[in-house]
Amino acid sequence: MGKLQYKPSSKELAPGVTLIQDVNETNSELRYVSFKLLDLKKNARYEEKLDKKEVCIVVLTGRATVNDGRRTFFGIGKRQSVFDKIPTDSVYITNDKTFNVTADSDCHLALCYSPSEKQLPTRLITAKDNSIERRGKYNNKRLVQNILPDNDPSANSLLVVEVYTEPGNFSSYPPHKHDQDNLPQESFLEESYYHEINPKQGFVFQRVYTDDRSLDETMAVENGDVVAVPRGYHPVGVPDGYTSYYLNVMAGPTRIWKFHNDPDHEWILNRK
């Protein structure tokens, strides 16, 4: 397994609260993006003080109640499986807050973080707030559900999006990157991918590589894995018979998503 790939584990943080993934600046090359995955049993409670980070809490499955010390959002969450292919509810909470989450049912939570200094209002991002788009053509088709896109001013740095890729298709393709602070041509954004696969015994392939190949890893990614993308191109290929879901977290010095396609492969966009 490469240095960019993180397998799920199981660490009990409190009764009924299990930490499945924890990718951060101490165990990865990422400096702007951190990611946690939690499993909560019904009625379990998780609490965290944010310090100088903002967070987007995505209720991947199940239902939960979120409180930031002043506001409470009761019973949020829309899905029993991410493969219901409908948007879910999320909550944005700014830096220097303490928040807690109580599970109204067994639930699966993604906690998406980036550094933050400027306080912003807590916000419930409902399923209806998610914009939905279909991207790509030929065998590069995917369904995108935008939770925190760059045209939404609700966050200081965070960008959060869900992507579904059908069997036999590629996504994040043609290979693109966003690792240069060179606007308006390209922005610098680190990224993490949290993967689920249906049926769950499947796998997808993800390659992360730079032009000079100083970074070049190709990974067989299984259900529950996280892939960190500190820089470079990062396409995902999905074998026939399996559907891919991934949750992207992006963050960097400027909250703009401006990418650069690999010129060796950009030609596929212009096929007749």
User: For 94-119, how does the pLDDT look when each residue is reduced to its tens digit (9 = 90+)?
Assistant: 999 999 999 999 999 999 999 999 99
What phi and psi values does residue 107 have, to the nearest 5 degrees? -145, 160
Which is it for strands 11-14 and 17-23: parallel, antiparallel or unpaired?
antiparallel
**Distance from C-alpha of 29 to C-alpha of 142, rounded to nearest angstrom:** 28
Spell out the per-residue pLDDT of the chain, length 272, in tens.
569 999 999 999 999 999 999 999 999 999 999 999 999 999 999 999 999 999 999 999 999 999 999 999 999 999 999 999 999 999 999 999 999 999 999 999 999 999 999 999 999 999 999 999 998 888 899 999 999 999 999 899 999 999 999 999 999 999 999 999 999 999 999 999 999 999 999 999 999 999 999 999 999 999 999 999 999 999 999 999 999 999 999 999 999 999 999 999 999 888 76
Domains of the chain: 5-270 (2.60.120.10)
**Distance from C-alpha of 253 to C-alpha of 190, rounded to nearest angstrom:** 10
- Sign of the CA dihedral running 38, 228, 60, 93: positive
88: part of which helix (H) or strand (E)? none
**Distance from C-alpha of 66 to C-alpha of 74, rounded to nearest angstrom:** 7
